[in-house]
Amino acid sequence: MPDAHPLRLVIFDCDGVLIDSEPVVNELVAAELTRLGWPTTADECYQRFLGLNLDDMVPLIEAGLRRPLPPNWPETMAARIVARLQRDVPMVAGAREALAAVTALGLPWRVASNSSHPEMAAKFGCNGLLPLVTGRLHSFTDVPRGKPAPDLFLAAAAAERVPPAACLVIEDSVPGVRGAIAAGMRCLGYAPHGDGAALAAAGAVPFHSLSALPEILRSLTAVRS
């Protein structure tokens, strides 16, 4: 991974990197699309919508339904997702340790997500991490464009007054990787199931376990001659 600048900020994606919310959300969306007349499975939702926010999903869903969605569908669906996530959603294995490793290295970190602030509050709140992440969260609702645009990542970097070239993004979706690369940032593609080809093609360096992060981060904090 090219690193002309030593690492000064780590930006985590939320869903699929820190919080294992994607199975829950995909199940809810699949049930909703099936109810609306487009029979869909949770796995199909994962393949079609990974990394997209609810607003960006609307034209894809309307194309599948061949008719418009009900008014305010993203807001209604978001409220249902928040209600479900408030009850229980696990963290990704190794996520707590990864955050601790970043902190131990003296690196600031932030979270940039295509989720809304209420969704992230529910996800982190049910895991007891809301006090830790408060003030570090960036939602697609804060910027003109969500991922795959670079806006979220640039906002996170600006909040820490760190240049993009000194940032490292950790993503698990192609839209997220594209946004990081467009922002001029290095990107690790988290591929826990071993298939990181799509992430690599988008510009990320794949890795397969969050336990590998500390060593990667240590190498990137060193000044290269």
Q: pLDDT (tens digit, 9 = 90+) per residue, 123-164?
A: 999 999 999 999 999 999 999 999 999 999 999 999 999 999
Q: For the chain, how long is the longest CA-to-CA vector?
A: 60
Residue 68 pLDDT class (50, 70, 90 cuts): very high
Task: Identify the DSSP state of 148.
Answer: T
What is the pLDDT averaged over residues 106-112?
Answer: 97
Q: Under the phi-then-psi rule, with left for phi > 0, alpha for psi from -120 to 50, and beta for the rest, what region is 12?
A: beta
User: CA-to-CA distance for 204 and 224, rounded, in angstroms?
Assistant: 20
Asked whether the beta carbons of 183 and 150 are under 8 A apart, the reply is yes
Asked whether the beta carbons of 194 and 186 are under 8 A apart, the reply is no
For residue 71, give every residue at least 6 positions away whose Cβ sits within 8 Å of its Cβ, in sequence order, or none: none
Percent of the chain scored above 90 by pLDDT?
84
Please give the pLDDT value at position 225.
36
What phi and psi values does residue 224 have, to the nearest 5 degrees?
-90, 135
Task: Identify the DSSP state of 120.
Answer: H
User: CA-to-CA distance for 170 and 18, rounded, in angstroms?
Assistant: 10
Helices 54-65 and 22-36 pack at an angle, to 10 degrees, of: 30
User: CA-to-CA distance for 120 and 124, rounded, in angstroms?
Assistant: 6
Please give the pLDDT value at position 4.
58
- The string of pLDDT tens digits covering residues 186-216 is 999 999 987 899 999 999 999 999 999 988 8
What is the pLDDT averaged over residues 55-77?
Answer: 95
Q: Which pTM value belongs to this model? A: 0.87
Select from 175, 163, 198 the least CA-distant residue to 3. Answer: 163
